[in-house]
Amino acid sequence: MIITYQRPDTLDADQLDQDAPDADLSPTGATCGTSTVDVLGVPWSCSRAPHPGQDEHRATVTAAGDGPTGAVAIAWTYQYATDEQHGDVDHAVPAQSITITLSFPDRAARGINAAALIQSMIDAGLGHFWEGDQDDVLTSSTTTA
């Protein structure tokens, strides 16, 4: 995650930041829903309208927050994002592959749940990527006897 805007701590709770991006809220109340955690460990959810083709997410201050309600508190994007606006959701094209082969004798397979083993290996791999990149990571598995 790359933070593109964060509300300055130096502002009073009711003070608007002239440099803050527009909240871009949906008139229907629809939200993007993407969530993240900032460097202090505070969780945020994108309160902006769904925005196909735009990589920046924005979260607004809530009624109990530190700032004017509805003002953008944090905006973020992901490392593969560009400033170009696309016509649809921007998905990065896979450019690298990792192949892992786990071979073992039949006697060692007793009591092994192959589906659970495969899923745990995939989950472990996904844990190394940013949450926004996980949508672009493709996984596959093959078993042979």
Q: What is the pLDDT of residues 16-41, one digit of tens each?
A: 999 999 888 888 888 887 888 887 88
Phi/psi of residue 95, nearest 5 degrees? -120, -10
Strand pairing class (43-45; 72-77)? unpaired
Task: Find residue 76's DSSP bridge partners.
Answer: 3, 57
Residue with tokens 């990571």: 137
- 77 touches 55 (CB < 8 A): yes
pLDDT digits (tens, 9 = 90+) for 55-69: 788 998 876 677 788
Task: Say if residue 87's pLDDT is above 50.
Answer: no
CA 145 to each of CA 104, 105, 117: distance values in angstroms, whole numbers, following the listed order: 10, 10, 15
- 44 touches 65 (CB < 8 A): no
Regarding predicted confidence, which is higher, 40 or 89? 40
Q: What is the reported pLDDT for 94? A: 62
